[in-house]
Amino acid sequence: MTTTVKSYAAFDPDSSLGAWDLERRVTEPKDVAIEIRYCGVCHSDLHSAKNHWGNTHYPLVPGHEIVGVVSEVGSDVTKYKVGDWVAVGCLVDSCGQCGSCHENEEQYCERGYIGTYGAIGRDGKPTQGGYSQKIVVVEDFVLRVPEGLDPASAAPLLCAGITSYSPLNFHKVGPGMKVGVIGLGGLGHMALKFAVAMGAEVTMFTTSASKREEAARLGAHHVVLSTERAEMKATFNTLDLIVDTVPVPHDLGGYIRCLRRNGNLVMTGPIGLQEPPLNNGLLIMGRKAVSGSAIGGIAETQQMLDFCAESGVTCEVEMIAMDYINEAYERLEKNDVHYRFVIDMATL
């Protein structure tokens, strides 16, 4: 059985997103039904809607930065009740059996986690995301929005936030550490805020001189214009960790030189072949590493939400109405957003 809700969907790579009546499953014993109040707009939404990755099946309802209120719970649900503020991120299920799942790292599920949209659920039907009135998710993949955390600005934490938080948490960033962040965008401004809140001394790398003041406002202790040779050279051999959030290929050599011995450059933004090629001598001479990091698992994402509530870290957002989504996508392609769009789902 199903229930019909309003949504916005992509119907092909070239058309605008538009209204669509979406069929959601009824609430089963372990399910939580959520009335969606806010949904962040991720660059992945744009890539998926436009089939940039070549694997989109239409119609597609994007959206994996979801915050809402519990409207119904299944008979076996124990963690949530009607009226609770909750959240759903990038994944809504996993195998639950592999080593990664047993270690609370469902994002690395060895059989492949089930994404909030664009995947096939256990019922054999396509998963559809948060550009909709309602979503039904199994209890174990629902997160609690802690008291004191603004629900609207919390929405992008479910992707941009956890993608930035996870490598910092994994590398145990804290007082006395020196951390670099490459790129002052959606992910980069969150990595900056998190690293500062964790007590690190933070250097922001940017190619834009106009962002110096903004980076300082957000808490950066140092701002380095990466196109300026002298500024980069002054930073060589100083940083324990660098989080790279730039989503397009770029030269890593200068940044690796900024790492101290045993330092690590973690890539969270770019996916695919990197150009220009990396000279591995930069890694060998200093036992340095280049690694990658995706989103976090459910436990770590809850930890991040709680940390945000305790430390006052939130995402900088621009609120939009649902019918503005196509203009928002155009602006995303031009990198014209400060720093994440969030849809007020009351406008659907």
Task: State the pLDDT at residue 275.
Answer: 87
Task: State the pLDDT at residue 1.
Answer: 67
pLDDT, one tens digit per residue, over 193-226 is 999 999 999 999 999 999 999 999 999 999 999 9
Instruction: Read off the amino acid at residue 250.
Output: H
Task: State the pLDDT at residue 246.
Answer: 93
Which regions in the chain score pLDDT beneath 70?
1, 270
Q: Model-level pTM?
A: 0.95
